[in-house]
Amino acid sequence: MLVQFRSCNSDLDYARFTLFFLQNRHAFSPSFSLADSLIHLLGFLSDSQVILIEEGSTKVIGWGHYQFMNAEREAAPDGETAFIHSVFVSLDYRSSRVFLRGFRYLAEQIQAVNHQARYVEFCARCEDDYLNRLYSKFAQVVGEQEGHFGQENIYRVELSRLVAYLGMTK
C-alpha cells in the first residue's frame, strides 16, 4: 500500500476531495447532514488549503484541511498561525506511520506556502482521551471552545518545535 500526500491544485482535486468528504461526513458526527456538510464546504474552501491523502494516485483515502489565520483569528493568507480544521484517514489506512508522514507533509506545506507562519493550532474533543494524550506530547492546550460536535481543547505548538518533534530539518 503506497500512501501519498499532495495539495489540492485543480478543480478535479477539489471535486475528489468534496465527494470523499461527503461520503465520510458521519466520521465527525452521525448527525452531520448532507446540508450541513455542503454549507461547511462552501464556507471554508475559498480560503483554505486542502491536502489529499491517496493510495496510489487514484484512490482518495483521506484529507487534511488547514487555514492561515491572523492574531484576530480571521482567515489571512499570510497569517502567523496555521489552524488545522480537520484531518481524516479511512480506518483501514490508519497507522502511526501514516500519521507521522502526514504530519511531516503538512508541516512542509505550511512552511512552503507561508514563510510568516510561526504556529500550528488544532483541536481535539475534550472526551477523546487518545488524541488529547497524543497531542499533549508536542503541543500545549491554549484554550477550550464549543465545537460543532462538543467541547474541544485548542492545542498550539510553535512550527519550529513541531518540525523538531517530527524529526525534520528546517
pTM over 0.85: yes
pLDDT in the model for residue 155: 97
- Mean pLDDT computed over every residue of the chain: 91
The rounded percent of the chain whose pLDDT value lies above 70 is 99
Structure confidence at residue 107 (pLDDT): 95
**pLDDT at position 156:** 97
Tell me the per-residue pLDDT of 124-140, one tens digit each, with 9 for 90 and over.
999 999 999 999 999 99
Q: H/E element holding 165?
A: helix 159-165
pLDDT in tens, 43-74: 888 889 999 999 987 899 999 999 999 999 99
Residue 38 backbone phi and psi in degrees, to 5: -65, -40
For the record, the C-alpha cell of 166 comes out as 517530527
Please answer whether residues 65 and 110 qualify as being in contact, where contact means their C-beta atoms are separated by less than 8 angstroms. no
